[in-house]
Amino acid sequence: MSTATKTKPEVKEFTCARCEVTSRWTEGLGAATPPNWVKENGLYYCLVCRRERAIDEAIAKAGDVSTADRAKLRSAAVVDFEIARDPDRTEGEIAKAARASIGAVRKARKRRPS
């Protein structure tokens, strides 16, 4: 069977709904969105914004907190986000992605129901 008649994959441009960064992605490469992007309610979000939204959500959930607690919530939310995004990575990789310590990743893993 020849694949010569296969239609050329279409390059689409995606715009993040939050920061308006654009990404070109060829449809049909195994995913409907660029790597690490998500589609939510018809809107696309890049990885940076997915992380920021996870932080915002954690802070909103906590309610009225001090600046110091906010910083703690932020880093914890990023660690949780990175674990959820790709749980198969090593603690070292997750720590690097979340810019956190391996100890923080370990603690976050213990918090999560497995």
* Chain positions contacting Zn ion, by CB under 5 A: 16, 18-19, 21, 46, 49
CB of 38 to Zn ion, least distance (A): 11
- Taking the least distance from each CB to Zn ion, the nearer of 14 and 105 is 14
Cβ 4 to Zn ion shortest distance, Å: 38
CB of 48 to Zn ion, least distance (A): 5
> Residue 38 phi/psi, 5° resolution?
-130, 155
Where does residue 75 rank: exposed (0-12), middle (13-18), buried (19+ CB within 10 A)? middle
Give whichever of 18 and 89 is closer to Zn ion, judged by the CB atom.
Answer: 18
16/77 with CB nearer Zn ion: 16
The DSSP call for residue 8 is P
Helices (H), ranges, the chain: 47-62, 67-85, 91-98, 102-111
